[in-house]
Structure 1
């Protein structure tokens, strides 16, 4: 899979429009379109912004490695988890929550993890 098709696939999966994603990584919509059609390659800084936004490695984007998420052991398991509608709903709601609510939720999560370890 080419760099451009990977960028487009990740963008589509994230549900972000081309113009909005272009703005987030600091390029014009036309430039992003050329990346996605493999007519142009991003410079290093832009490639890093793309990787950071999608939380993948630059090596994955460049085709140097198959694993997108280096911290996750089994990519198939990760894909199942990411595509779970409950996880998707939680992620979107969490991402849009105020910082105070995020901190509170993370504190609750730490408590739950501790309780689980005591069983």
Structure 2
């Protein structure tokens, strides 16, 4: 599964893949595989990204178009 929203959220914050990788404690190459859908995102990384971007995991996964902050 390709995660265009991960790419878009990262670019909206003017972040590099390396910077987001540091947030997750992983290498840039691993994060790049997440964005391209080559490697499955572990649940704990998905949750951490949703918290980091102040959105829901459903938004990242494309299950909703509501990007708003979680309450």
TM range (shorter): 0.7 to 0.9
Deviation at 1:62, TM superposition (A): 1.1
TM-score normalised over the length of structure 1? 0.54
Q: Report 1 or 2 for greater relative contact order, CA contacts < 8 Å, sequence distance ≥ 6.
A: 2
2:64 is aligned to: 65
2:16 is aligned to: 17
Deviation at 1:3, TM superposition (A): 5.1
Deviation at 1:37, TM superposition (A): 0.9
Whose helix fraction is larger, Structure 1's or Structure 2's? 1
Q: Distance in 2 between matches of 1:70 and 1:49?
A: 14
1:50 is aligned to: 49
Map Cα deviations across residues 3-28 of structure 1 (whole Å, 9 max, x no partner).
52110111011001111110111221
Gaps of 5+ in 1: 72-119
Give the greater-gyration-radius structure (CA).
1
Gaps of 5+ in 2: none
CA contact (8 A) 2:3 2:61 kept: no
TM-score normalised over the length of structure 2? 0.87
User: Pairwise CA RMSD of aligned residues?
Assistant: 1.9
Moved over 6 A (4+): none
Q: Distance in 1 between matches of 2:59 and 2:36?
A: 18
